């Protein structure tokens, strides 16, 4: 009786710990992707690109250096004067 209870308790703890680890890894990957997106600085007056700021990521480390001529598909947008 007690042995089965402890076995069930151990299984529940193992499932909980596994789910927590999966959630933490997913959160880390989402944050790494969001923080590694490049920033495109555009002129407020002319609307043209002034510079592109590239940020390295841990997992999503984009080796390509984006520039105003080579804009990324997804980026953070910042207006400048």
**Three-point CA angle 35, 70, 31, nearest 5°:** 10
Token pair 């520039």 in the structure block, residue:
67
The per-residue pLDDT for range 1-40, each reduced to its tens digit, is 888 888 889 999 999 999 999 999 999 999 998 888 899 9
pLDDT at 16: 96
The range of the structural domain enclosing residue 54 comes to: 2-80
pLDDT at 21: 98
pLDDT at 11: 93
The per-residue pLDDT for range 55-80, each reduced to its tens digit, is 888 887 766 688 999 888 889 999 98
C-alpha–C-alpha distance, residues 6 and 62, integer Å: 48
Total of domains in the chain: 1
Q: Which residues pair with 79 in a beta bridge?
A: 42
């Amino acid at each position: 009786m007690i042995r089965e209870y402890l076995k069930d308790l151990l299984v529940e703890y193992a499932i909980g710990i596994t789910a927590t680890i999966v959630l933490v890894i997913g959160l880390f990957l989402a944050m790494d992707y969001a923080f590694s997106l490049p920033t495109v600085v555009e002129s407020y007056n002319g609307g043209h690109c002034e510079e592109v700021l590239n940020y390295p990521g841990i997992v999503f480390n984009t080796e390509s250096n984006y520039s105003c001529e080579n804009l990324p598909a997804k980026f953070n947008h910042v207006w400048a004067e």
